[in-house]
Amino acid sequence: MQDKWQLATKVIHAGHEHNETGALVTPLCQSATFIFDNAQQGGARFAGEEQGYIYTRLGNPTTAELERKIAVLEGSEAAAATGSGMAAVSAALLANLNCGDHLVASNAVYGCTFSLMSSLLAKFGIEVSLVNFSDKTAIIDAVRPNTKVIFCETPVNPHLDVYDLQMIAQIAKQHNLISIVDNTFMTPLLQQPIKHGIDIVIHSATKYLNGHGDVIAGVICASEQQMQVIKYEVLKDVGAVLSPHDAWLILRGLKTLDVRIERHCDNAEKVAEYLATHHKISKVYYPGLKSHPGHHLLGQQMRRAGGVIAFELNASFEQSLAFINQLSLFSIAVSLGDAESLIQHPASMTHSPYTEEQRLAAGIKDNLLRISVGLESVEDIIQALEQGLERL
C-alpha cells in the first residue's frame, strides 16, 4: 500500500515504525551509546554478525527513521544523514574519488562546494574540471581516462540554471562514471534525480527539508552498495554525522513539507512574474518563467519551479548592496527554504570563494541578487520589493 501512496502522504508516514511506547511522534533517542546484553553481543555487532545499535556515530533509531523516509521520497535504496549539507557533498565525493582521479563538475555551484573542489580536493591529488553543464559537448570533452565522477546542482545556486538529468545520466553511463546531483533547491517532492538515472542525490537538509531555520544537516541517497562505502568507510571515520535531536527536528519539519513547498512555489511564481516586468531589473532567473532556457523541463524533470529566484538589477555593485540594506520584510541571510523571505548578494557572500574571473565565467555578476521566497502573504512580499525598487 505504501508504494501506491502519493508523495504528500509518504512525507508524513514513510519510514515510520511502531515504537514500544505507542507514541504518535517519533521518540527522540538522545543517547550517544547503546548497551549490549553481554560481551558476546557487543563483539557480534562490531563484527557485523548481528544487527543492532552500537554508538550514535554508527547509527541511531531517530536518525535511522529520517534516513528511511528520505530514501523512500527520493526513490533510493538507502540514505545517510550527515552533520551538514557540505558533509553530504564531501562524503559523496570522498567515497568515490581517490588520489589521481578526476572529477567533472558544473562551473556554477554553491560557494563552499566550489572551494572544496578547487582547493581541498587538490591536496589529495584529485583533479577537477569545471564546465558549463548546459553544453553537452563541453561535458563530454572534459571527460578523461581517469575521470570517475560527474557532479552538478540543478537548479543551480545561485542563478537557477537547469540541467537535463537524463542527459547527464546518459553521459555518466557511457563513460562508466558515478553521477552525483545536489537536489536541495527542488526537494524530492519537486524532482527525483534517481528516477532519471542519477546514481547519488544529496541535500542540504538545512533548507526545505527542515524548513524552520534551526538545523544544520545533510542527506545522501544512493544504492545499498554505495551507502556501505559512504557510511562505513567515510562518515564513520570522518565523523560528520547528524545528531539525533537534529534528525528529530527534521522529521517534525518534513510533516509540513508538501504544504510548505506548494506555498513557496505559488509565491515565487507571482514574485518572478512581477520582477520580470520591472524596468529596474535587467534579467530574472526562474525556471517557472517561459523566458528561462530550462522552462521546457517543467513537467518532464521538475514538477514545479521551486521557491528561489535570482535577478540582476540595473545597478552597480554598491547600489545593489544599498538596495538590500533598505529592503523591508526580507531578512539579509544566506540560507533558503525558511518561512521568512531571505535575500543575499552571491558575489560577496555565498560565492565569495570564486575569483572575479571565475564568478563571471559562471554567470555570477556583481548586480545579481538571490531571494528565497518565504511563506508570507505574496502581496506583502511584492509590496516590499516594489518599495525597495522605487527607492533604488
pLDDT, tens digit, 9 for 90 and up, residues 187-238: 999 999 999 999 999 999 999 999 999 999 999 999 999 999 999 999 999 9
pLDDT in tens, 60-110: 999 999 999 999 999 999 999 999 999 999 999 999 999 999 999 999 999
Per the annotation, the verdict on 144 as an active-site residue is no
Active site residue 365: no
Q: What is the phi-psi region of residue 243: left when phi exceeds 0, alpha when psi lies from -120 to 50, beta otherwise?
A: beta
Query: What is the assigned CATH class of domain 2-254?
Result: alpha beta
Residue 261 contacts residue 190 (beta carbons within 8 Å): yes
Region label for 197, one of left (φ > 0), alpha (ψ between -120 and 50) or beta (otherwise): left
Q: Which fold has domain 257-391?
A: Aspartate Aminotransferase, domain 1 (3.90.1150)
Tell me what percent of the residues of the chain surpass a pLDDT of 90.
Answer: 93
Once rounded to an integer, what is the mean pLDDT over residues 146-162? 96
- Which residue in the list 69, 110, 263, 359 is annotated as catalytic? 110
Domain ranges of the chain: 2-254, 257-391
Closest among 209, 191, 195 to 84, alpha carbons compared: 209
The model's pTM is 0.95
Q: Over the stretch 233-275, which tens digit does the pLDDT of each residue have?
A: 999 999 999 999 999 999 999 999 999 999 999 999 999 999 9
**pLDDT over 90 (residue 23):** no
Write down the catalytic residue from 101, 161, 182, 246. Answer: 182
Q: Kindly name the residue from 10, 148, 207, 359 that is annotated as catalytic.
A: 207
The active-site residue out of 53, 57, 136, 195 is 57
DSSP string, 174-190: HTT-EEEEE-TTT-TTT
The answer, yes or no, to whether residue 19 has pLDDT greater than 90, is no
Contacts of 376 (CB under 8 A, 6+ apart): 267, 329, 339, 340, 341
Q: What's the pLDDT score for residue 288?
A: 97
The 10s digit of each residue's pLDDT in 274-313 is 999 999 999 999 999 999 999 999 999 999 999 999 999 9
pLDDT digits 0-9 by tens, 344-377:
999 999 999 999 999 988 889 999 999 999 999 9
Q: 3-state SS string over 105-142?
A: EECCCCHHHHHHHHHHHHHCCCEEEEECCCCHHHHHHH
Q: Judge whether 366 counts as a catalytic residue.
A: no
Please confirm, yes or no, whether 110 is among the known catalytic residues.
yes
- Give the mean pLDDT of the chain: 96
Name the percent of the chain lying above pLDDT 70.
Answer: 99
pLDDT bin (cut points 50, 70, 90) of residue 2 is: low
